[in-house]
């Protein structure tokens, strides 16, 4: 199984994402922002960082990278796509996910280990978790405050599309404590905290994040069967 | 060449913590009559020939502003050289 990890100019967490893919048992495939196609990968990760410097708005310029046209088209056809942190911002800017991520309410950059409750285990990236399961993964962002209009928030909640909520304190003012969401089909997931930084005891606060990457392998294997 | 100005503001219902931080600093200058501060972005474009408004709207809508959280307005100032 091959999982693509996109590197944009300014991506920071692409190497950790590729490592998480490898530890989960898949082959990471490096994709470049200028690639026109996805090399036949089974899933794609948009990693954290500051793509194109986030000079305009976070993710706003990355959205127009050549690789994103291929990612958007494949996502609409059901390819599993996970956007972490900056990747989540890119997915919102690309309208593959609703809402937007704005400046943390308190204006401070937050870097800490964060308790997160998995709300939906029905997605391509969270099927290995139990609904309601709490995990601890790092968060490190200055623009992680999720906002959407009340109708969108109600719809997300009613249709099980809130993938994760912050537990034990909201680190950024995200509406309804939302840490991650998914699209209607459940193949595209965006999450603000970093599962790829919690995949090995030596380097993370837990190994709780590995479940995102093992989940997608299970999902792809199931889809192929 | 024409100068086109695109003003981008957070929608009224979106919290503006940057504006709030500035508002909170104003009393230190002895200012007490300002009740609200909201901060936006002004983008100045130099355009060759006559600006195509439809195209500018597309540009503003897709890149300069995020319509999910921001409103924008486009003006072509009279004194444009």
**What CATH number corresponds to the domain at position A126?**
3.40.50.880
Q: Which residues of B touch A147 (CB under 8 A)?
A: 14-15, 69
Whether A153 contacts A105, CB under 8 Å: no
The average pLDDT across A129-146 equals 98
Name the strand (E) or helix (H) holding A73.
helix A66-76
End-to-end CA distance of chain B: 7
pLDDT in tens, A71-116: 999 999 999 999 999 999 999 999 999 999 999 999 999 999 999 9
**Chain A closest CA to B14's CA: distance in Å?**
8
Q: Whole-angstrom Cα distance, residue A172 to residue A166?
A: 10
**What total number of domains does chain A contain?**
1
Domains located in chain B, CATH noted: 2-75 (3.30.1280.10)
Quote the pLDDT of residue B79: 61
**Catalytic (active site) residue A85:** yes
State how far residue A141 is from chain B, nearest Cα, in angstroms.
15
What pLDDT is attached to residue B77? 82
pTM of the model: 0.95
Could you confirm whether A92 is annotated as catalytic?
A: no
Residues B17-36 have pLDDT tens digits of 999 999 999 999 999 999 99
Q: Which domain does A141 fall in, by range?
A: 2-224
């Amino acid at each position: 199984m091959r999982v693509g990890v996109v590197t944009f100019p300014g991506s920071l967490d692409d190497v950790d994402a590729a490592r998480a893919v490898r530890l989960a048992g898949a082959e990471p495939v490096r994709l470049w922002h200028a690639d026109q196609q996805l090399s036949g990968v089974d899933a794609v990760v948009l990693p954290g960082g500051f793509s194109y410097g986030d000079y305009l708005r976070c993710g706003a310029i990355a959205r127009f990278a050549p690789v994103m046209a291929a990612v958007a088209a494949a996502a609409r056809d059901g390819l599993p796509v996970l956007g972490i942190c900056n990747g989540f911002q890119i997915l919102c800017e690309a309208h593959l996910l609703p809402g937007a991520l704005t400046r943390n309410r308190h204006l401070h950059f937050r870097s800490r280990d964060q308790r997160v409750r998995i709300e939906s285990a029905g997605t391509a990236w969270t099927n290995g978790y139990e609904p309601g399961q709490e995990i601890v993964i790092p968060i490190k962002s200055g623009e992680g405050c999720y906002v959407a209009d009340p109708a969108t928030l109600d719809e997300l909640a009613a249709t099980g599309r809130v993938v994760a909520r912050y537990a034990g304190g909201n680190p950024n003012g995200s509406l309804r404590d939302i840490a991650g969401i998914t699209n209607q089909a459940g193949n595209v997931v965006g999450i603000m905290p970093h599962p790829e930084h919690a995949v090995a005891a030596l380097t993370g606060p837990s190994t709780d994040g590995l479940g995102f990457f093992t989940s997608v392998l299970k999902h792809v294997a199931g889809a192929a069967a | 060449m024409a100068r086109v100005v695109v003003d981008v503001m957070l929608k009224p219902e979106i919290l503006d913590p940057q504006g709030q931080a500035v508002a909170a600093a104003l009393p230190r200058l002895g200012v007490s009559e300002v009740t609200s501060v909201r901060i936006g972005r002004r983008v100045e474009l130099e355009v060759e020939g006559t600006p195509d408004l439809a195209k500018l709207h597309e540009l503003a809508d897709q890149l300069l502003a995020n319509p999910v959280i921001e409103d924008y307005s486009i003006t072509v100032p009279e004194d444009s050289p």
